[in-house]
Amino acid sequence: MEARALTTVQETQPIVDLVLDGLASEHSKRAYRRALLDFLAWHTVQGRPPLSKALVQRYKTKLQKDGLAPSTINQRLSAVRKLALEAADNGLIDPHLGNGIKAVKGVKSAGVRSGNWLTLAEAQRLLDAPDVTALKGLRDRAILAALIGSGLRRSEAAALTFDKVTQREGRWVICDLKGKGNRTRTVPIPAWAKAAIDAWAEETGIDSNPSTSLRTGGRVFRSVHKGGYVSGDRMSAQAVADVVREYAEKCGFEGLAAHDLRRTFAKLAHKGGAKLDQIQLSLGHASIKTTERYLGVEQDLQDAPCDRLGLRLR
């Protein structure tokens, strides 16, 4: 099948509607609608050439020359990729062209630092991205909350069971979590992360209170069918990673992975004044050096530890 132009509003509008119908969040629908309308307007000015990878690359270059923020460019490219895939599915372009357009890379987001971590505002934006009016959105928010709020690995989140979420010394923790290297640790969790888990558990009918639940050893995170119901008793680590990738793409955080939320937890905790050794314990690092690499800690000769001793010569 040869590449062809999408030439009329009557031809493109049904495809745009399919793109928007596939999104759960109203915020995402509004953003994608704007992005697609902008692209189609530019496409018209270009003379409505056939959709192709080269055309989308040219559009990407145009957006960069316009000085748009990387996150804005990546969100617009995400919408165009989705448009191309829907066009391919509906026989308007060759599927190979659709896959080629899907492979167009975004630009490095200013929001994702070296080593990939998010600022406080960006982490909040990611946490707010799921549509919590839907069961899947409640689950996904709980997953993001566990990763950002406690620094869990994706495998640890996937394996988390309700009986591990309990109280110690008046606060919620994940108790006796077995992590990398078979090391066991107890991880404090913030109240808002526990609230996100509870909201998900309550909506599913799964009792999240380990003292009363008949499913005390059950997995916290479970697969959700497109029909909006729980369809399994667990999730894989890859499925957890896919959740992060889905919302990172919606927010324009190109290349953000599940492990980067672990690094984000460490960065935000450190910036908030948490002690390095306590961050190490939460992450389960065998060496403080590993934690320092996560944080990018550098020696500060202007404000050194020796300046904080409070001693003087008399």
Helix (H) or strand (E) run with residue 166 in it: strand 165-168
Give the helix/strand (H/E) hosting 77: helix 70-89
Q: What is the pLDDT of residue 124?
A: 94
pLDDT tens digit sequence for 8-21: 444 567 777 877 87
Within 13 Å and on the Cβ side, how many CA atoms surround 8? 2
pLDDT at 246 over 70: yes
Predicted pLDDT at 295: 78
The CA-atom distances, in angstroms, between 58 and each of 81, 83, 159 are 14, 16, 44
Q: Which segment of 55-59, 104-108, 132-136, 223-227 scores lowest on mean pLDDT?
A: 104-108
- Report pTM: 0.62
| Category of 113 on φ-ψ map: left (φ > 0), alpha (ψ -120 to 50) or beta | beta
Q: Judge: domain 9-102, CATH 1.10.10.10.
A: no
Residues 258/147, Cβ–Cβ less than 8 Å: yes
Q: What is the CATH number of domain 120-295?
A: 1.10.443.10
**213 is written with which tokens?**
């639940």
pLDDT band at 258 (very low <50, low <70, confident <90, very high): very high
User: What is the C-alpha to C-alpha distance for residues 44 and 24, in angstroms, rounded to an integer?
Assistant: 29
Instruction: Tell me the domain boundaries of the chain.
Output: 9-102, 120-295
**pLDDT on residue 3:** 46
Please, which residues have CB within 8 angstroms of residue 92's CB and are 6 or more apart in sequence? Answer: 4, 6, 11, 15
